[in-house]
């Protein structure tokens, strides 16, 4: 091929490359970019949204609907208005469960807020021994409820390790009925709940402690403050918001307690069902061949309202404390 022909081909190639793209091609690319930046992210979250909508939103709406009916597992029932809610406050089991759950919150939440903070303060160092203690305190969190129940059932049994040690030390003369007395079961379950929650809330506090400026501790030390005063005047104010978060989480968990009492009592809720909690009552009324789904739904709504009121009160107290 001659030089003239090669030059002509190159000129045509440059001319073709300099030509503007057709309008439809540019419009197509613009649409692709718009799809990638606006629509595509929603497609990624669509499966999660569908799952949440079906299994949480629709389930919650159906619970509200059932609460105003006399539905059972075997028949849909009819609308009865507030009859289920009126029955609740004349139901001995409901009043007992409400009392037990309230006592549970009052007794458990203060320990859940303070003890993990003390543990986190003691094990916040970077040494290997501190890492060992952090791991040891967190271990109960990863245990299943069945394993925890087996451990503490054996420990708290009349012939278990706890009673045997107390008798050997001459502290008691006869076994303490941890698992057969109403209050014994309730307070034993509280102890297990606190034991299970220590490690989880300790990790949350460790994150908050890491954000406190070390210069504050140095300044307090120069002013003559010891470890206790540093804890009170530096650490606690520095984790105040985290304390409120843990108070909220532990309140919800304590009021909805189920596993600990269920496993320790083998599902019987203590002698005569006197250790029944709100969650256990919902399970009893809402499952089984004779399940009263409408009544159980009404109990669920009451639990939701009570927990919501507790959280609102906590938020008000927190805001007043900050002001």
pTM over 0.85: no
Instruction: Over range 15-41, report the average pLDDT.
Output: 57
pLDDT for 6 equals: 47
pLDDT for 4 equals: 53
First to last CA, the chain: 89
Distance of alpha carbon 82 from its chain centroid, rounded? Answer: 30
Q: pLDDT of 180-202, one tens digit each?
A: 888 989 999 999 999 999 999 99
pLDDT for 12 equals: 54
pLDDT for 322 equals: 64
Q: Contact 122/170 with Cβ under 8 angstroms?
A: no
DSSP letters along 104-162, please? HHHHHHHHHHHHHHHHHHHS-S-SHHHHHHHHHHHGGGGS-HHHHHHHHHHHHSTTSHH
Ramachandran angles phi, psi of 102, nearest 5°: -65, -45
Q: Of all helices (H) and strands (E), which one includes residue 39?
A: none
In the predicted structure, residue 154 carries a pLDDT above the cut 60: yes
Q: Contact 149/189 with Cβ under 8 angstroms?
A: no
Instruction: Over range 313-317, report the average pLDDT.
Output: 81
Instruction: Over range 72-88, report the average pLDDT.
Output: 88
In the predicted structure, residue 34 carries a pLDDT above the cut 50: yes
Q: Which residue is associated with the tokens 């109960």?
A: 140
Residue 284 tokens read as 């009893």
Q: pLDDT of 235-244, one tens digit each?
A: 888 888 899 8
Domain ranges of the chain: 89-322
In the predicted structure, residue 31 carries a pLDDT above the cut 70: no
Report how far residue 126's alpha carbon sits from residue 119's, in angstroms, rounded to the nearest whole number: 14
**What CATH fold (topology level) applies to the domain 89-322?**
MetI-like fold (1.10.3720)
CB atoms within 10 A of CB 6: 10
Q: What is the percent of the chain where pLDDT is above 90?
A: 29
Q: Contact 301/282 with Cβ under 8 angstroms?
A: no
Q: pLDDT of 97-126, one tens digit each?
A: 999 999 999 999 999 999 999 999 888 877
Mean per-residue pLDDT of the chain = 84
């Amino acid at each position: 091929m001659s030089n003239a022909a090669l030059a002509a081909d190159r000129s045509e190639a440059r001319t073709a490359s300099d030509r503007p793209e057709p309008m439809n091609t540019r419009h197509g690319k613009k649409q692709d970019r718009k799809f990638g930046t606006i629509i595509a992210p929603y497609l990624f979250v669509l499966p999660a949204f569908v799952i949440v909508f079906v299994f949480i939103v629709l389930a919650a709406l159906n619970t509200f609907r059932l609460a105003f009916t006399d539905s059972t597992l075997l028949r849909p029932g009819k609308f009865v208005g507030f009859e289920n809610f009126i029955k609740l406050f004349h139901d001995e089991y409901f009043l007992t469960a409400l009392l037990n759950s309230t006592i549970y919150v009052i007794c458990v939440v203060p320990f859940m807020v303070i003890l993990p903070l003390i543990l986190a303060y003691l094990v916040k160092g970077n040494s290997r021994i501190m890492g060992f203690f952090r791991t040891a305190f967190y271990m109960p969190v990863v245990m299943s409820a069945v394993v925890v129940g087996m451990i503490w059932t054996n420990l708290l049994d009349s012939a278990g390790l706890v009673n045997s040690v107390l008798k050997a030390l001459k502290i008691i003369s006869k076994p303490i009925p941890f698992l057969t007395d109403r209050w014994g079961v309730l307070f034993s379950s509280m102890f297990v709940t606190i034991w299970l929650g220590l490690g989880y809330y300790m990790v949350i506090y460790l994150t908050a402690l890491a954000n406190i400026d070390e210069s504050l501790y140095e300044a307090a030390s120069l002013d003559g403050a010891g470890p206790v005063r540093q804890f009170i005047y530096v650490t606690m104010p520095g984790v105040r918001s985290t304390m409120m978060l843990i108070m909220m989480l532990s309140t919800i968990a304590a009021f909805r307690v189920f596993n600990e009492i269920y496993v320790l009592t083998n599902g019987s809720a203590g002698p005569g069902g006197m250790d029944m909690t709100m969650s256990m009552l919902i399970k009893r009324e809402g499952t089984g061949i004779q399940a009263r789904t409408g009544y159980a739904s009404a109990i669920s709504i009451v639990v939701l309202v009570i927990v919501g009121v507790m959280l609102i009160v906590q938020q008000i107290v927190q805001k007043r404390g900050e002001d």
